Amino acid sequence: MKSIPIGRSSRDEIPRLLRVCGLSVKYGADGQALEAALRQLDLEISAGEVVGILGESGCGKSTLALSILGLLPADARVDGSILFRNEELLGMSEAQLRRIRGAKISLINQEPGLALSPVMRVGEQIAEVIGAHSGLKRKARKQEAEAMLRAVNLTNAGRICAAYPHQLSGGELHRVAIGQALACRPDLVIADEPTRSLDVIVQAEILGVLRNLKQKFGTALIFITHDPALLVGFADRVVVMYAGRAVEQGPSSRMFGRPLHPYTKGLLNLVARVPRRDGSAPAGLLPVIPGGPPYLEALTSGCAFEPRCSRKTEICQSEDPEELMPEAGHRVSCFHHGS
- 156-165, 258-267, 273-282: the lowest-pLDDT one: 273-282
Contact indicator for 196, 113 with CB cutoff of 8 Å: no
- 6-15, 32-41, 194-203: the lowest-pLDDT one: 6-15
Amino acid at 82: I
Residues 212-234 pLDDT 10s: 888 888 999 999 999 999 999 99
Rounded to whole angstroms, the Cα distance separating 179 from 202 reads 16
pLDDT at 323 over 70: yes
Question: Given pLDDT bands bounded at 50, 70 and 90, which one contains residue 80?
Answer: very high
Average pLDDT, integer, range 32-53: 90
Question: Given pLDDT bands bounded at 50, 70 and 90, which one contains residue 286?
Answer: low
278 burial class (0-12, 13-18, 19+ CB within 10 angstroms)? exposed
Taking Cα atoms as reference points, which of 56, 164, 62, 153 lies closest to residue 116?
A: 164
Contact indicator for 139, 222 with CB cutoff of 8 Å: no
Average pLDDT, integer, range 30-49: 86
| Sequence-ordered strand ranges (E) for the chain | 18-27, 35-45, 50-54, 76-84, 87-88, 105-108, 188-192, 220-225, 237-242, 245-251, 324-327, 330-332
Rounded to whole angstroms, the Cα distance separating 212 from 151 reads 9
User: pLDDT at position 226, please?
Assistant: 92
Question: Given pLDDT bands bounded at 50, 70 and 90, which one contains residue 10?
Answer: very low
Cα–Cα distance list, 80 to 8, 35, 273, 320 (Å):
13, 17, 40, 20
User: pLDDT at position 32, please?
Assistant: 67
Residues in the chain: 339
Residues 167-202 pLDDT 10s: 998 889 999 999 999 999 999 999 999 888 788 888
Contact indicator for 246, 42 with CB cutoff of 8 Å: yes
Is residue 83 classed as helix, strand or coil in its secondary structure?
strand
